Amino acid sequence: MNRFVTAERALRTAAPHALLDAVRRVLAEQYAAESVELFMADYGLTVLQPVSVLPHTLRPVPVHNSPAGRAFGAQEPYVEAGQDGLVRAHLPVSVRGDRLGVLTVTLPEAEHTDEGVRELAEVADVLAHEVIVAERDTDVYLQARRKDRLTLAAEMQWQLLPGRSCSRPEYELGAQLEPAYAIFGDNFDWSATADRLMLYVTNGMGEGIEASLLTNLAINALRNARRAGIPIADQAALADQAVYAHYHGRCYLSVLMFDFDLATGRARVVDAGSPQLLRLRGGTVERITFEAQLPLGMFEETDYVAQDFLVEPGDRLVFVSDGVYAVASPQGEAYGDAALARAITSTRLLPAAEVPRAILRELTGHRGRPVPDDDALVVCLDWHGR
C-alpha cells in the first residue's frame, strides 16, 4: 500500500485526542522519522505552541525568526540541515488558507527527497483537517493554542469566529483581534458559496462579558438571517430587531456588512456604525465611505438600505475597528489620520493572512505602550476576481 495512503488512514481512524501519537507512529514506520512535533499558532500569532500533555514541557517556538515560523509565514515547507545525518522538515498545518500551525519532522538525510517532503506536506494537510474535526470532541488542540489564560469574554469571542484566514481563487482573507487573550466586543464573520462571499466586521459597545454577550447575540442573529437566504439589508434589519428586543436601546452594535458577487466583484454594502474600510489600489490608499446608518439595536424597527460597491482584481481592502483608527499617539495624532495608510502601504507585499498582525504591531508602536485601552480588529481582503 502507498505509504501516504497508510498515513492518511492512520490519521482518519485515530481518536481525536491521539492525532499526534498516530502521526508519530505512522511517520516513524513509513518515513523513518526520528521525531515528530506538532505546534499550534497561539491566539496572538506570536509563538507556535507545542501540543503536549499539560502542563506543557516543550518550549514554544517564536513565529518570527525561527525555521518553523518561516514555514508558517510562507505557508511552504522549509527544510533545515540537522546534526548526525538528520534533517528537519517544517510543514504548514493549514485548512483552505486557515493557518493552524506547523508539523516538524526529523528525518535521516537519506530519506530527504523532494518527493518525500511533498508527501509529508500532504500528510500535514490531512492532519490539519483532522484537527479541525477533532476540536469538536477534545480540548487538546485548543489548549495548546494558548500561551496565557483567556478571559471568559475572549473565550466566547474566539469560539464565535469562522477562522483567522481563508483563501479561494477569487480572494484571500486574513483577520486578527487584539488584545488576543482579553478581547471582548470586536468580531468578524464570513461565509462563502460558489458565487458569493458575505463578510461582517463588527464593533460591539461595552466591556467584558456584557460586550461579548452582545456580539454573540448580534452575530448569531445575522447568521440566522443569512442562512435563511435573506438579502443583506434584511439581515441587518432582523439582527437589529433581535438586539433591540433584548436590550431596548441600552446596548447596540456597529457593523459593516458586505455581500460580494465573486464573478463580477460587485458588492452590496450595509454600513451600520463605526468600522471603517480603506482600499489599496495601484499603490494608493484611500478611505472608502458609505452612507452611514444606525447601529444594530439602537432604535426599534430600523430599516436598512444596501449600497453598491465594486472591487477590481488587485484591490486590497483593509477593515478596521475604532480601536485601531482612533488610537492616539503620545503626541495626540490618531492612528487613522496618516499612520494607518503608511502601515497599509508598508505591508503591501505581505499575504493577506500576515497583514492584520503586521498592522497591529505598527499600532502598538504608534500607541507608545503595549497595553491597549480598547479592542483592535483588522481584517484584510485581497481580491483576485475570476
CA nearest to 214, candidates 225, 206, 226: 206
For 195, half-sphere exposure in the C-beta direction (CA atoms, 13 angstrom radius) is 2
**Per-chain mean pLDDT for the chain:** 94
Confidence at residue 1, expressed as pLDDT on a 0 to 100 scale: 54
Q: Above 70 in pLDDT, residue 56?
A: no
CA dihedral 219, 221, 226, 229 (to 10 degrees): 180
The answer to whether 111 and 32 are in contact (CB under 8 A) is: yes
Confidence at residue 369, expressed as pLDDT on a 0 to 100 scale: 77
CA 300/CA 354 separation, integer angstroms: 40
The answer to whether 87 and 109 are in contact (CB under 8 A) is: yes
CA 305/CA 270 separation, integer angstroms: 7
Confidence at residue 205, expressed as pLDDT on a 0 to 100 scale: 86
CA 218/CA 296 separation, integer angstroms: 8
For 154, half-sphere exposure in the C-beta direction (CA atoms, 13 angstrom radius) is 17
More confident residue, 262 or 147: 262
H helix intervals, the chain:
3-12, 19-31, 67-74, 114-134, 140-144, 152-160, 208-227, 232-247, 322-325, 339-346, 355-367
Q: Above 80 in pLDDT, residue 269?
A: yes
CA 334/CA 324 separation, integer angstroms: 9
Confidence at residue 57, expressed as pLDDT on a 0 to 100 scale: 63
Q: Above 90 in pLDDT, residue 274?
A: no
Confidence at residue 206, expressed as pLDDT on a 0 to 100 scale: 86
Q: Which residues contact 117 (CB under 8 A, 6 or more apart)?
A: 77, 79, 89, 91
- pLDDT tens per residue across span 173-220: 999 999 999 998 899 999 999 999 999 999 988 888 999 999 999 999
- pLDDT tens per residue across span 283-339: 999 999 999 999 999 999 899 999 999 999 999 999 999 999 999 988 889 999 899
122 three-class SS: helix
Which pLDDT band, with edges at 50, 70 and 90, does 10 fall under?
A: very high
Percent of the chain with pLDDT over 90: 86
CA torsion sign for 127, 130, 131, 137 is negative
SS (H, E, C) 227-256: HCCCCHHHHHHHHHHHHHHHHCCCCCEEEE
Which pLDDT band, with edges at 50, 70 and 90, does 58 fall under?
A: confident
Pull the grid cell for residue 284.
494608493
**Average pLDDT of the residues in 373-386:** 93
Q: Above 70 in pLDDT, residue 249?
A: yes
CA 226/CA 257 separation, integer angstroms: 12
Confidence at residue 84, expressed as pLDDT on a 0 to 100 scale: 81
- The DSSP string of 202-224 is EEE-S-HHHHHHHHHHHHHHHHH
Which pLDDT band, with edges at 50, 70 and 90, does 224 fall under?
A: very high
Q: Above 70 in pLDDT, residue 54?
A: no
Using CB atoms within 10 Å of the CB of residue 244, give its burial: 0 to 12 exposed, 13 to 18 middle, 19+ buried: buried
Alpha-carbon Rg for the chain in angstroms: 22
CA 163/CA 99 separation, integer angstroms: 9
DSSP assignment letter at 150: P
